[in-house]
């Protein structure tokens, strides 16, 4: 009864979605399991309580939309700064927390002579390793300074507020947010035939299962690969003409 009431509290009073509610219940379940292990509880109140996540559509930018944002003429300097930081995340897969804490020691020259980011993710502790592409290098050079932190990142709320304005100026049919950048990186890399194993390493995922969600949303990749498949089918394989 307590668990059911707690679920209702999260959903109704706090207004949380199904998946977020299930995440809180999962944390509670871990504590309950620990209590059972130490015999502080004699039975498991979660025994007959099941949760099921709902599939959500991942918000991301397409290549066309990335091009629009990158070439957008913006009226204010702080809008340009937020746009640049957002684009840097779109081409490195860094989350808001990781880009805010990105410091000079996280950037180094790799064995291939190119610039890399090697950074422990604050959320999971997983190591994110990303070789920087040209647009990311250009943004890095643009904001080069002697400061400890690489970019002047403001609060997440402020970044999202400005991104919303940028999206409006660009006349996009979706609302720009910082968390969209990481999703954009993963799905865009997948459309460019970067393997899911490599994407998982760059995102700092501890399990490839966390990366597999992006493979479900890239319809353009399915379309391109099916076009190639179609072109490879010999013309001799066809229906015989009906007389």
Top mean-pLDDT range of 46-55, 108-117, 212-221: 108-117
Element (H, E) at 19: helix 18-37
More confident residue, 228 or 98: 98
The percent of residues in the chain predicted with pLDDT above 90, rounded, is 42
The three-class DSSP label of residue 146 is coil
pLDDT at 195: 82
Pairwise CA distance, residues 45 & 3, whole Å: 8
Find the mean pLDDT for residues 93-103. Answer: 91
Tokens of 48: 């007959």
Find the mean pLDDT for residues 14-37. Answer: 90
Checking if the pLDDT of 242 tops 60, the result is no
- Average pLDDT, whole number, for the chain? 85
Indicate the length of the chain as a whole number: 243
**pLDDT confidence tier of residue 181, bands split at 50, 70 and 90:** very high
Asked whether 44 and 36 are in contact (CB, 8 A), the reply is yes
What would the pLDDT profile of 138-179 be if each residue is shown by its tens digit? Answer: 999 999 888 889 899 999 999 999 999 999 999 999 899 999
Checking if the pLDDT of 218 tops 70, the result is no
pLDDT at 240: 57
Q: DSSP letter at 131?
A: E
Residue with tokens 């996009």: 172
Pairwise CA distance, residues 149 & 73, whole Å: 26
């Amino acid at each position: 009864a307590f668990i059911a009431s707690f679920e209702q509290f999260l959903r109704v009073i706090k207004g949380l979605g199904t998946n977020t509610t299930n995440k809180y219940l999962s944390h509670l379940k871990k504590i309950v399991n620990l209590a059972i292990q130490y015999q502080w509880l004699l039975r498991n109140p979660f025994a007959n309580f099941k949760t099921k996540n709902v599939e959500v559509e991942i918000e991301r930018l397409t290549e066309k939309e990335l091009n629009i944002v990158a070439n957008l003429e913006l009226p204010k300097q702080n809008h340009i700064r937020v746009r640049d930081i957002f684009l840097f995340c779109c081409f490195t897969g860094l989350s808001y927390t990781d880009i805010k804490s990105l410091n000079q020691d996280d950037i180094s020259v790799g064995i291939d002579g190119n610039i890399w980011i090697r950074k422990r993710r604050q959320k999971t502790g997983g190591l994110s390793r990303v070789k920087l592409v040209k647009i990311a290098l250009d943004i890095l050079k643009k904001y080069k300074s002697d400061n400890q932190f690489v970019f002047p990142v403001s609060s997440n709320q402020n970044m999202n507020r400005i991104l919303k304005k940028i999206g409006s100026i660009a006349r996009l049919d979706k609302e720009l947010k910082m968390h969209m950048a990481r999703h954009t990186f993963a799905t865009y890399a997948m459309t460019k035939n970067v393997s899911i194993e490599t994407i998982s390493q760059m995102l700092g995922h501890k399990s490839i299962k966390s990366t597999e969600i992006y493979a479900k949303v890239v319809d353009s990749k399915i379309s391109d690969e099916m076009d190639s498949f179609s072109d490879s089918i010999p013309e001799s394989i066809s229906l015989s003409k009906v007389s």
